[in-house]
Structure 1
Amino acid sequence: MMYGAKAYAQVGLETGINSASPHGLIVMLYDGAIEAIRKARIYLEMNDIEMKVKSIDKALRIVKDGLTASLDIEAGGALGEQLLALYDYIGKELVLANVQNNPERLDTCMNLLNDLRSAWLEIGSTATLEK
């Protein structure tokens, strides 16, 4: 039964990805990273080290392979460079949180990503209004 639920969720995710705008895909990346960090914090509190490591690894992959890879520094200029530095900082904080079992570092990463997500949503709503 659990397999069916997972398959259904996967289809929903794939449908969302296929129909999302580039702006929406970035929001999905933020959501995924935030959720992975939230889970890592729960696993840390439960002392489930294996699942904590897997969740932090997932968040790191989203930040590095998703958010960082999506940056166009040339087109983004100074803002793109600042985002790159911030993503690098978040990545380092996630590694330290993992090694040190430090929930405060996880909270810092989650708060930064939440702020970026909110700003990205605001940019999207402003762009929509200007059309």
Structure 2
Amino acid sequence: MLNKASAQYQQVSTHSGIEDASPHRLIQMLMEGVLQRLAQAKGAIQRSAVNDRGEAIGKAITIVGGLRDSLNKEVDGELAANLDDLYDYIQRRLLAANIGSSEEIVDEVMTLMSTIKAGWDGIAEDVA
């Protein structure tokens, strides 16, 4: 599953060192990628750059899909199911942000992703 997430990240990023990243670090990188794309999308909305907005949001949706694919529902049970629901919500909100050119929705998703990332960052790598 992490290989699939890694492939998603590689499709939308030129970040070096991904091949050597631990599973914990890979998830951090995916979350960082989402936040970067959301910042790009917000800037594109402010500039009324429709193509750039669509591209950045599309890449963010793809990365969130990689995060969803990396969930192990058999091992992590309820936590994985809750994260899957949250990632689904995020993807739907990003579609709405793109359709409505909404900075507010992008801000909402950035807040959600930042909260998830802060929790993940707080997990010791050897525990993850």
Return the TM-score normalized by structure 1: 0.84
Q: Kindly, what percent of the aligned residue pairs are identical? A: 34
Bigger relative contact order, structure 1 or 2, given CA contacts below 8 A and separation 6+? 2
Deviations 1:78-109 (A, max 9, x none): 00000000000000000000001111110111
| Residue number in structure 2 paired with 1:20 | 21
> Are positions 1:60 and 2:61 aligned together?
yes
Corresponding residue SS for 1:124? coil
Corresponding residue SS for 2:48? coil
Give, as a single letter, the amino acid of the residue that structure 2 aligns with 1:42: G
Corresponding residue SS for 2:95? helix
| Residue number in structure 1 paired with 2:3 | none
| Residue number in structure 2 paired with 1:80 | 80
- Distance in 2 (alpha carbons) for counterparts of 1:27 and 1:95: 23
- Distance in 2 (alpha carbons) for counterparts of 1:48 and 1:60: 18
Q: Which has the higher helix share?
A: 1
> Are positions 1:104 and 2:104 aligned together?
yes
- Distance in 1 (alpha carbons) for counterparts of 2:96 and 2:40: 17
RMSD of Structure 2 on Structure 1 (CA): 1.6
Deviations 1:6-49 (A, max 9, x none): xxx94xx23x2111100000000000011001100000000000
Between Structure 1 and Structure 2, how many residues are aligned?
Answer: 116
For structure 2, list consecutive stretches of 5 or more residues without a partner in the other structure: 1-12
Give, as a single letter, the amino acid of the residue that structure 2 aligns with 1:114: S
| Residue number in structure 2 paired with 1:31 | 32
For structure 1, list consecutive stretches of 5 or more residues without a partner in the other structure: 1-8
2:24–2:125 Cα contact (<8 Å) kept:
no
Return the TM-score normalized by structure 2: 0.86
Q: Could you say which structure has the larger radius of gyration?
A: 1
